[in-house]
Amino acid sequence: MNILVIEDDARVADFLVRGLRAEGYLVQLARTGPEGLDMARRGDASLLLLDLMLPGIDGLELCQTLRAERNHVPILILTSLSDVGDRVAGLRLGADDYLTKPFAFEELLARIEALLRRGREQQPISQQLQVADLVLDRDRMQVMRGGQAIPLTAKELAFLELLMSAPGRVFSRERILSNVWGANEDPLTNIVDVYVRRLRSKIDDGHALPLLKTVRGLGYRIDDVP
């Protein structure tokens, strides 16, 4: 999941970028309203964290512009303004939620997850997941790369489906264990590493572009970034 942070305060921006990346999100940063608007228009952000007090174009105008252009990316407003009128204006202009600074990072994460979950629930579930030329067909429980079928075990398929459900997001070993093997699995087991090696040998060997990446100290992700 790619989060676009639009924040001109260097201290707050650094806090947000570091914290979100540690949680496995891909994060882009814009420090002015015009820069944030241009980046939001690219369409690759899953969610915007939007400060109201921005140079060039303020957050309210940016939000209004995106909604007028039928850009429905979830927008979470971050504001130090205590005036209820500003928060209400943001919501009326199309923002999905807001947080007043200072805030607890745990609350920010909870609100981000809720907005992303709401967005997924409003969209029909795609029966195909695709990263580059790697395709996972949920209906047929079949994986192909470059048009060639790849036989996978049930656990390998579940592991790959988890990673492909959020391309670019880093999944920790703990989250992978919980999602694929269940909460009762020994947290000290090396089974995740074993399955990573198996998947790499099946989906990446013989291809110029490796898709399954190790993020040292954090976990694993799948993407088509060289």
Domains of the chain: 2-120 (3.40.50.2300), 128-222 (1.10.10.10)
Ordered alpha helix ranges (H), 75-143: 84-92, 105-121
Question: Beta strand pairing status for 142-145 and 148-150?
Answer: antiparallel
CA dist 117 and 205 (Å) reads 34
- Averaged pLDDT for residues 23-38: 92
- Averaged pLDDT for residues 18-45: 90
Q: What is the pLDDT at residue 14? A: 95
- State percent of the chain over pLDDT 70: 94
Q: Could you read off the pLDDT of 173-223 as tens digits, one per residue?
A: 888 988 888 766 677 789 999 999 999 999 999 999 999 999 998 999 999
Secondary structure (3-state) at 80: coil
Instruction: Give backbone dihedrals phi and psi of 17, rounded to 5 degrees, phi first.
Output: -65, -45
Question: How many helices and strands (H and E) does the chain possess?
Answer: 8, 11
CA dist 41 and 66 (Å) reads 8
**What pLDDT band is residue 159 in, cutting at 50, 70 and 90?**
very high
Q: Which residues contact 117 (CB under 8 A, 6 or more apart)?
A: none
Better-predicted residue by pLDDT, 178 or 57: 57
Q: What is the pLDDT at residue 132? A: 94
pLDDT at 121 over 70: no
The model's pTM: 0.59
First to last CA, the chain: 18
pLDDT at 6 over 80: yes
Weakest mean pLDDT among 19-23, 52-56, 85-89, 95-99: 85-89
CA dist 103 and 80 (Å) reads 10
Q: Which residues contact 161 (CB under 8 A, 6 or more apart)?
A: 129, 136, 138
Q: Mean pLDDT, the chain, as a whole number?
A: 89
pLDDT at 68 over 70: yes
CA dist 178 and 172 (Å) reads 10
pLDDT at 138 over 90: no
pLDDT at 123 over 70: no
Where are any strands of DSSP class E within 57-114? 75-79, 97-100
